[in-house]
Amino acid sequence: MTKLISSNLLIKNFRRMWPYIKPYWFRAALGVALTVPVGALDGAVAMFLKPFMDKVMVDKQPHFSALIPFLIVGFTVVQGILIYSSNYLNTWVANKITIGVKRKLYEKLLSMDTSYFDKNNSGTILMRYSNDAETASTGLIDNTKQFLSKTFSSISLVCVLLYNSWQLALIAIGVLVFFIYPMAQVRRKMKEIMERTVGNLSYTMTIYNETFAGNKTIRSFTLEEEFKKRFKEVTDLRFSLAMKMVKGTNWLSPLMHIIMSIGIALVIGCGSYLIVSGRISSGNFVAFIAALMMLYTPLKSVGNNYINIQNSFLAIDRIFDILDLEPTIKDLSTAKDLQEVKKSISFEHVHFGYVPGREVLHDINLEIPVGSTLALVGNSGGGKTTISALLPRLYDIQKGSIKIDGSDIKDISQSSLRRQIAMVFQDNFLFSGTVKENILLGNGQASEETIWKALKSACLDEFVKGLPRKLDTEIGERGILLSGGQKQRLAIARAFVKNAPIVILDEATSALDNKSERVVQEALDNLMKNRTVIVIAHRLSTIQNADKIVVINDGKIAEQGTHEELLQQKGAYYALYAMQFKNKAA
C-alpha cells in the first residue's frame, strides 16, 4: 500500500532528513530491518493453510492436525516479538530525530531577524518550529517501517498467490491497478486543505497565547464575548476543513472495498472453475484466499493512512522551507569585533523603512560623542524608537550609514556590537525564573557581589533583601509577581551587570506613576553615569539635562540643541514643552 502511495516521496524525504538520522543510523536500520521478517511471515502463515487443508481436511492425516496449528502459533509469536522490538527501536529513533530537528529549528529561530518576528505570530512559530518536527520525524520513521513491512509482506503474499495459482494471481494483482488513479486524485485535493488546516491551527494557538498573556485586558475591557466569538469562528473553520477532508478523501476507502470485492468475486468465480477442473486443490484455493485477504486488508484503511503520510511529508516540506531561510542581517566575512567605543557614534544620511517603498526615517544625521547624552523627543510614531533599534542592527538601513569610531556597523560583528550596548525598554521582557537568573542574563559571569551592587544602583536592593528567598525568589512568567516599577528596576540592574559603554533608554519611565518614576529615574541616572546614552523620552522633565535634544517629527529631524537653546527657538520643542508644562509657561 505505502509503496503504491509514496515510495518516491519517501526516498526524497528520507534523503533530506538523513543528517538527523545519521547519528542513530544503526538503531534506525535495525528497527526498520526487523520489519522485513514481520512482513515476510505474513506469507508463511498463509502458506501453512495449504497443507492443513489438503492433508487434514481432505486426506484426513491426523499428525498434521496437531503440527500445523503449533507452527502457525510459533510463527505468530516470533512475529509479535519482532513487532515489539521494531516499535521500541523506531520510537527511540523517532524521538531522537525529533529532538535533533527541534534543536536545529530553534537555532534557526534564534538567528532570524527582528523583522521575521514582526511578520509571524506566536501560533505560527509554535506550529512550524515545534509541532512540525514531531509530525515529520515520527511520520518518516513510521512510513519507512510501514513501507518495508508492507513491501515484504506484499512480496511474500504475491509469491504465495503465484505458487498456488498463477491464473488467479494475475486476476488479483490486476485489480490493484485500479487503486492507483483514485489515490492520485485524492493527493491533489488534500494538499490545499491541509495547508489551510495548518494555518487554522496556528491561529488557534495564537488565540490561546493572547488569552493567556492578555487576560487582564480581556477582563478589564469585558472582551470575553468577543474572544468567544473569535474562538467560535476559528473552530467552525476547523470543523469545515475537517469535513472537507472527509468529503475529499473518505470516499477512497469505500471505493477500495468495492474494487476488492470485485477482485475477490472474480477470484472465487475462477477458483471454483479451477477446483472443479482439477487444476488446483482445495488447499491451494484456501491458501490463495487467505493470502489475498491479507494483501487486500491494509487497503481498506488507505484513506486515513494516506492523510497521515501526507501530513508527515508536508511537515517535512515546511521544516526545510524554514531551514532554507537566510536572515537578511548577516555578518560580513570580513567583520571585525568591536572592543571598545573611543570617539563617537554617528548617523550619516540614514534612510529606513520597515516596508519597501515606505520610508519611516528620512536623511537622519546625528553625532553622539562618547560620554554624552542624546535625547530623542517628538510626536508618537515619528521614528524615535526606530533610531534606537538601528544602532544594534535589529534592522538594517536602506541608505546611508551608521558608524562607531568611523567604522560602519555593518563591518562589525553583530555579537560584539551588541555586547557594547545595554537597552532598557518601556516594557522590558523578564523571563520565568529567579531574580538572580534574570540579572545574570546581562552577564552570566557576574559575581554575587556585582549583582548586589547592580541592585543597589537600580534602587532595588532593599526590596530583594525583603523577599523570602532573596536572589533565588521566583518572579513568575514575564515577571508577573513584580510591580511595574520593580520590573523596570530589575531590567536596569540587568543593564548594570552588562556594564556596556552605550546605553539606550526607550521611554523607560513613561508607563509608571509619579512615585515609581522618581525611583526608576534615580536608577536610570545611576546607569547613565560615564556612559554614552541615547534616551527616548515622552516626559520632557527627564531629559532637560541632556547634552543634546533632537526633535524627530514624521521621520525627520525638526530641530536640535540643548534644552535652553530649543526653548529660545520657540519651535517644535517649545510647543511640546508648553503642552506639558502649560501652567508654568503661563
CATH class entry, domain 344-585: alpha beta
Global pTM reads 0.72
- What pLDDT is recorded for position 145? 67
| In the chain, where the domains are located | 2-323, 344-585
CA dist 351 → 45, 184, 356, 384, 387 (Å) = 76, 52, 11, 13, 10
Report how far residue 382's alpha carbon sits from residue 361's, in angstroms, rounded to the nearest whole number: 8
Which three-class secondary structure state does DSSP give residue 468? coil
Bridge partner residues of 504 (DSSP) = 423, 534
For residue 29, what is its C-alpha cell?
Answer: 536500520
Residue 448 · residue 478 · CB < 8 Å: no
Per-residue tens of pLDDT for the chain, all 586 residues:
444 445 566 677 778 888 888 888 888 888 877 877 766 666 666 665 666 666 555 555 555 555 666 776 777 788 788 888 888 888 888 888 888 888 898 888 888 888 888 888 777 788 788 788 888 877 777 766 666 666 666 777 777 777 777 787 788 777 777 766 666 666 666 667 777 777 777 788 888 877 877 777 777 777 788 888 888 888 888 888 888 877 777 777 677 778 778 878 888 888 787 877 777 777 677 777 777 777 777 665 555 566 677 777 778 888 888 888 888 888 888 889 988 888 889 999 999 988 888 888 999 899 999 988 898 988 877 888 888 889 999 899 889 999 999 899 999 998 899 888 888 877 777 788 888 888 888 888 888 888 898 888 888 888 888 888 888 888 877 777 777 778 888 888 888 888 888 988 887 666 565 666 677 777 777 778 888 988 888 777 778 888 898 888 888 888 888 888 888 888 888 888 887 776 454 4
Neighbour count for residue 291 (Cβ, 10 Å)? 28
Q: Taking the mean position of all CA atoms in its chain, how far away is CA 439?
A: 27
**Topology match between the domains 2-323 and 344-585:** no
Helix (H) / strand (E) element for 349: namely: strand 344-352
d(CA 403, CA 225): 51
CA dihedral 104, 107, 113, 116 (to 10 degrees): 50
CATH label, 2-323, candidates 1.20.1560.10, 1.10.3720.10, 1.10.730.10, 1.10.8.60: 1.20.1560.10
